Amino acid sequence: MSEEKPSNKTLGVKKAPKFELPKAPVPPDSETPNGERGRERVFGIEEAPTFFPTAEEFLDPYEYIGHIRPVAEKYGMCKIIPPASWSPPFSLDSETFHFSTKDNRGIPKQTAAVADEEYIQELCKFHSKQGQPIHKLPQLDHKPVDLLILKNEVALRGGFQNVSSPCLTLLVWTQRNNPSLSLLSAPQVTVEKKWAEIGRTMNYSRKTCTSLSNSLKTIYSRFVLPFELHMSTSTRADKEPRLAYDDVDDESELSSAGPLFDSESDDGHGDRNTESSFPSSPVTPTPAQNGFSKPPKAQSSKSDPSSIACEICRKDQNEEALLLCDGCDRGYHMYCLSPPLKVVPKTDWFCPNCIAQVDSITSEVHARYSLQLFQKKAQKFKEEIFSSMRTGDSSKAVTEDLTEELFWKLVDAGYDDLDVECGSDLSSALYGSGFPTIERNPREKYSLDKWNPNILPTLPDCLFSSIDTHVPELVVPRLNVGMCFSSFSWRYEPYYAYGIDFLHWGDSKTWYCVPASDARRFEEVVREVVPDLSTQEPEFPLRLATMVSPETLKSHGIKVTAVNQRAGQLVVTFPQACHAEFCHGFNFGENVNFALSDWPQHVLQYLNRSRALRKEPAFSYDGLMVALASNEPSIKTAVWLHAPLKEVVDQEIANRNALRSRCPDMKEEVDPGLPVTRCSHCKELNRLSTLSCSCTIKVTCPAHGEHVSFFATKEVVEQCNVNVNLCECPPDARVLRIRHSDEELQRMVSEVTDKAELPSRWVRKFHESVASLKLPSLNTLKHLLNDAEKIPVFINEAAFLKIFVNRANEWVEKANSFLGKKHRRGSTRPNIPSEEHVRGLFTEVLKLNFHSPEILSLEQLLQVIDTFKAEAHAALADPGMTIDQLRQLYQSGISVNVQMEELPKLMNCIRTMEWNELASCDSPTDLSKVEQMLHMASDYDIDVDDSSLKRLKHLQARGQRWKQSAVAILDQDMITSAELEALIELARESPHVPSLLSQAESLLSKVQDWSVSARALLGRGENPDILQRPTVDELHQMLGRLKEIPNKPVEVYILEHEQELTDKWCAAVKKAFLKVQTPKGWDEVLEVLQQNVSKCSAVESQGEAYCLCRSADSGFMIECDSCHEWYHGHCVKLTRKDAKSQRSYICPICNPAVGISRVFKRPTLEDLYKLIRESSQFKFIPREREILLSLTDDASSLRLQIRRFLATLNTTPSPSITQIQHYLRKVEGMMIHLPAETAQLRQIQSAYELPINHELDSASEESGYSS
């Protein structure tokens, strides 16, 4: 299969192979997971901040960027890592996407390719101006026809001449429009039948193109000939003087619009075997702007141009010849255009200004690439450059720091022979966007996502939405396709706007930024370092176009920040911050501008600076301020808008008044539909007012009205005379046209100021409310707070009010917890407040100083409490009170819903009277009730000779005898059914204990119930899912229930066998850890094991844990004189006294000969796995199994950490002995043995460890700790 080659054609027709997105690169070792770098950047540059918004914070880009702006703006830029849930798909059609690259490193141009490219561009631009854009180059034999070669071959053979009637018609048209061309002098290509010869020269064969001559002739006549005729007339026209208005940039590129025609066969010339493709009828799709297609406009004949004047002659006459641009809505006469249009275009038509603004090329144009082809070039270049630059180990990874260092070495060395290209600033309006759009992906949720660069500048929060002119460089996203060392020189964002860049995929991109605080000093340094730049670059310093090293800037005291952007990450630049960047490899990014509420102050500075450079602004600042004021601005907008708006309006009215004083007789017209024009003197857009004269087509702003006399007259325009006459018209011939009257502008200022003063008015209202004689009600304060929360501006008083209202609400909530609630008889009353609590609440609210209904209710409640207490004291002192009266009084006290000391006294009196009623009733059958009544009699001081009391004592004696019999029978090991039946029968005649009776009644059935439960438990033990099996505790519980059963069922023997198995296994677990003399209990040992393994396997920060046990510092500790690690004295079996007696101490990690005294055994991880496997066969799972699983998980985690660390040693030339000793402490201190890892670490330690001082060795041997 043949490899795709780059095409030098401007408009591709061949689909590229399907492009697969590059895999996400492995995160670099220079950055931690939280976005922080692990080491210093190249040149010691400060790192710009990185933010990690949550999914909720990420919903609104303007709110979030405004939130982080105070922190990030000081750095000039920041990086935003979106939440994991935000993952927009890459939606660009890679099969049809072809782009032109630009020379990025001053590489010598390929002259032939560039000439071909430029010719095709000029030809396409000519046909676009004629209203017949070329969307796809014609094809022959499945290949695009090289129109430049065709033109040159025809010229070599004398040119084109009429043979058939269509050609004759064309030449007649040509001669009529260009009389200098003579039919007799026309070349003889057609006459001499040399089209076939041209075809053979261009490598076409008649075998594949049977109608070769007709196809070439038709292609030439349709595409090349009209352009060549135009060029011949333009050559003569260039020698004649041009008007001042003919300043359209003819160097703009239209060709990058991509394929716009579908392939069609020859229209009747030739047969089906001829593969010729050229447009039979031009069809122009509407350019996409901001991700949305603009609906096609009607032609000028169908439009209403009554209020639209021609942008060239400034007249609104000849409406039938007035064309409306489908890009900017401006009007042009067909005969005023250059070249003039003879007929109304049948498709969308774009004016020269719009064509000039689309994808202008500032660098050298290279061949066109598909993504797949450019990827191959980029990968090959990166492999070659690093293989040639790398020294030493060729397998060393290409890190970001290495790439950055090499890039600046090449920049400083001035290497110009590197073939570095990039596809930069590709307009998404022509190439499409990497994000989904509502046109191409209507069902994709990211088509309307607020972070989508096609949507971001169009949101209501963006100030661009108030600009009444279309500014593509601000609102149209731009694509960037880069390769290794593709760079973007230092620059400001257009109009000092915010910028946002999203890296769709590919290698990293490094950004450098100088914040706005150092921008002016930065420009001075650039002038000093590159002194010729100000003369070479006319727009300096707004356009720098240089790549000064950050090291140079930092040496001059300039603050420079940097950040590495990776796939899926966003970089935001702030106004007036100058930034530059370069690519680490093949990648694809997309950026766009946007504006927050602070942008006007920045854009005003930009416009002032551009005005000094005589640079024409794309929009009117004054118009923007007025437009914002006209669109019912929010309070938040009005707060910052009222000051600049007043300044704009005051200046505008002052200019008008000055003009009125100079020209008192001039006419003045209010025109709400005043067209936006440009001042002929200062080049500013006249959005609010214009001054014109009847003798000229030019206008000025009121500030430069004195320059109206220098305008060219109408006769000069029509006769194309270069001699400009002065205007001698009287002052009353001049007209001041204004969009808004002075009163209307003042009203705008008043309305905006009125909104802006809402916070201060609220503050006055607040002070009036709290300063009044009466206490403010809580509802009034809530209404005030509610009004403040509607004002999106921070107000200090509102913040304090919110705290006060919250405290008052808390008090009201406490009061309402018992106010108005009624106590239901028999309830437990868990939340009933005490009398002290109620009185305390009332004291508290007196200090808050506000009024609410709850305060009045509380006062009334306190009055009710006082009344009840007085009545209760009187009732308790009256012996004639009946039980009903006492109950009624008690119920009234309960209804107060407050705990009072009188309530228990009333209840005690009521119960005494109730006992007397109960004692006179029938004999109770429940022994406990009998005894309860006897206790009540004792408590209530009942007379011992009372007959009811004597009867209750007799019933108690019978009940006690029944209870003794029941206890004796139920305590026997073997109970017969007859005994149980007799006991139950006796209970019917005597007071009894219900629980014992119930036990006797159910005991007969318990044997059967236990058997059923045991079989169910054994069935669960057969479950293949270990987690669903019963535990050993359930086994013990089931066996424990045997004590309640007088005999043993058969299932008992099976359960006892399972218990024996689990007991043996638990003993094996204990044996694996415990030594013979272990002072601690088993539960305590398990807890110690879990803590030890968890601490040893944890990933702790430096300084958090010490010693072999990996615990915090505590008690007596000693420092190793070799590794300087601290150890607990009890962990290394060293007392304070022994430590003082020796000169130095070497720990067991640094000196393996020093033994480690251990309290427990250390089984291996494999031993524990074996025990876990054995427990999987049990029907009843011991609790130790879960603990072993936890221990093995932690130990395995440590093993994985060590293995990963050991794996990194293959790529690390000098491993850290500190890190090796760190892991040795973990494995030696953990109570689970990892022999392989311990041996490997010891081996590496012995190879890289610094020799231990001999004095330390001898001191250690003398102290007796060598083994």
Q: Which residues of 770-782 are buried (b: 16+ CB within 10 A; e: fewer)?
A: beeeeebebebbe
- Identify which of 565, 651, 444, 746 has the alpha carbon closest to the alpha carbon of residue 48: 565
- Angle in degrees, CA 1099, 1104, 1109, rounded to 5: 75
Q: Do the beta carbons of residue 35 and residue 48 sit within 8 Å?
A: no
- Average pLDDT score over residue span 317-326: 79
> Which residues neighbour 665 within 8 Å (Cβ) at sequence distance 6 or greater?
730, 731, 732
* Residue labelled with tokens 């007709």: 214
> Which residues neighbour 1130 within 8 Å (Cβ) at sequence distance 6 or greater?
1115, 1116
pLDDT of residue 844: 80
pLDDT of residue 622: 87
564 pLDDT band, cuts 50/70/90, is very high
pTM of the model: 0.50
Task: Please give the helix or strand (H or E) that residue 422 lies within, else none.
Answer: strand 421-427
CATH class of 46-102+371-386+398-610: mainly beta
- Fill in the amino acid letter for 540: F
In whole angstroms, give the CA distance from residue 643 to residue 625: 10
- Angle in degrees, CA 929, 932, 934, rounded to 5: 115
Residue 111 CA from chain centroid, whole number: 46
How many CB atoms are closer than 10 A to CB 268? 9
pLDDT of residue 817: 80
In whole angstroms, give the CA distance from residue 956 to residue 935: 12
- Identify which of 314, 362, 398 has the alpha carbon closest to the alpha carbon of residue 26: 398
> Which residues neighbour 885 within 8 Å (Cβ) at sequence distance 6 or greater?
875
Please determine, for residue 30, whether its predicted confidence score (pLDDT) is greater than 70. no
- Fill in the amino acid letter for 618: A
In whole angstroms, give the CA distance from residue 686 to residue 703: 11
Task: Please give the helix or strand (H or E) that residue 355 lies within, else none.
Answer: helix 352-357
Please determine, for residue 793, whether its predicted confidence score (pLDDT) is greater than 90. no
State the SS3 of 956-1023: HHHHHHHHHHHHHHHCCCCCCHHHHHHHHHHHCCCCECHHHHHHHHHHHHHHHHHHHHHHHHHHHHCC
Return the biggest CA–CA distance within the chain. 157
pLDDT of residue 448: 94
In whole angstroms, give the CA distance from residue 1113 to residue 509: 45
**Using the 8-state DSSP alphabet, how is residue 370 labeled?**
E
In whole angstroms, give the CA distance from residue 556 to residue 442: 52
Tell me the pairing of strands 77-80 and 50-51: parallel
- Angle in degrees, CA 877, 883, 889, rounded to 5: 65
244 pLDDT band, cuts 50/70/90, is very low
Mean pLDDT of the chain: 77
Residue 373 CA from chain centroid, whole number: 32
Stretch among 359-368, 488-497, 545-554, 829-838 having the lowest mean pLDDT? 359-368
The most confident of the ranges 522-526, 812-816, 859-863, 1150-1154 is 522-526
In whole angstroms, give the CA distance from residue 1099 to residue 33: 15
- Where do the structural domains in the chain lie, given as residue ranges? 46-102+371-386+398-610, 112-161+188-227, 319-356, 623-756, 926-1021, 1070-1110+1151-1247
- Identify which of 439, 429, 426 has the alpha carbon closest to the alpha carbon of residue 288: 429
Across-strand partners of 1233? 1164
Tell me the pairing of strands 288-289 and 509-514: unpaired
Tell me the pairing of strands 365-370 and 98-103: antiparallel
Q: Provide the H-helix boundaries in 424-538.
A: 428-431, 472-475, 519-529, 533-536
pLDDT of residue 892: 85
For 1129, list phi and psi in degrees, rounded to 5. Answer: -60, -40
Please determine, for residue 778, whether its predicted confidence score (pLDDT) is greater than 70. yes
* Residue labelled with tokens 């026997």: 972
> Token pair for residue 29?
């070792």
Q: Do the beta carbons of residue 1144 and residue 1259 sit within 8 Å?
A: yes
In whole angstroms, give the CA distance from residue 623 to residue 625: 5
992 pLDDT band, cuts 50/70/90, is confident
pLDDT of residue 1045: 76
Strand intervals (E) in 595-717: 667-670, 677-678, 685-686, 689-693, 699-700
**pLDDT tens digits for range 1204-1256:** 888 887 777 677 788 888 888 888 888 888 888 888 888 887 876 554 444 44
* Residue labelled with tokens 């304090």: 800
Q: Do the beta carbons of residue 490 and residue 580 sit within 8 Å?
A: yes
In whole angstroms, give the CA distance from residue 532 to residue 541: 12
Burial of 162 (0-12, 13-18, 19+ CB in 10 A): middle
How many CB atoms are closer than 10 A to CB 222? 17
Please determine, for residue 227, whether its predicted confidence score (pLDDT) is greater than 80. yes
Q: What percent of the chain has pLDDT over 70?
A: 77
Stretch among 15-24, 561-570, 616-625, 832-841 having the lowest mean pLDDT? 15-24
SS3 744: helix
52 pLDDT band, cuts 50/70/90, is very high
CATH topology of domain 112-161+188-227: DNA polymerase; domain 1 (1.10.150)
* Residue labelled with tokens 């429940």: 926
For 851, list phi and psi in degrees, rounded to 5. Answer: -120, 140
Stretch among 306-310, 322-326, 670-674 having the lowest mean pLDDT? 306-310
**Using the 8-state DSSP alphabet, how is residue 518 labeled?**
G
- Fill in the amino acid letter for 1261: E
**pLDDT tens digits for range 755-773:** 888 888 888 888 887 777 5
User: What is the DSSP code string of 1019-1070?
Assistant: HHHT-SSGGGSPBHHHHHHHHHGGGGSSS--THHHHHHHHHHHHHHHHHHHH
294 pLDDT band, cuts 50/70/90, is very low
- Identify which of 855, 958, 872 has the alpha carbon closest to the alpha carbon of residue 909: 872
> Which residues neighbour 1003 within 8 Å (Cβ) at sequence distance 6 or greater?
970, 975, 980, 1044, 1046
Residue range 319-356, CATH number: 3.30.40.10
Q: What percent of the chain has pLDDT over 90?
A: 16
Q: Do the beta carbons of residue 1194 and residue 1167 sit within 8 Å?
A: no
> Token pair for residue 343?
């007929």
* Residue labelled with tokens 């002995």: 1217
- Identify which of 46, 53, 49, 54 has the alpha carbon closest to the alpha carbon of residue 71: 49
Q: Which residues of 243-257 are buried (b: 16+ CB within 10 A; e: fewer)?
A: bebeebeeebbbbbb
Q: Provide the H-helix boundaries in 105-210.
A: 111-129, 147-156, 165-177, 195-201
How many CB atoms are closer than 10 A to CB 1205? 19
State the SS3 of 1072-1084: HHCCCCCCCCHHH
Task: Please give the helix or strand (H or E) that residue 231 lies within, else none.
Answer: helix 225-238
Burial of 21 (0-12, 13-18, 19+ CB in 10 A): middle
- Average pLDDT score over residue span 15-41: 65
Across-strand partners of 421? 103
Please determine, for residue 1008, whether its predicted confidence score (pLDDT) is greater than 80. no
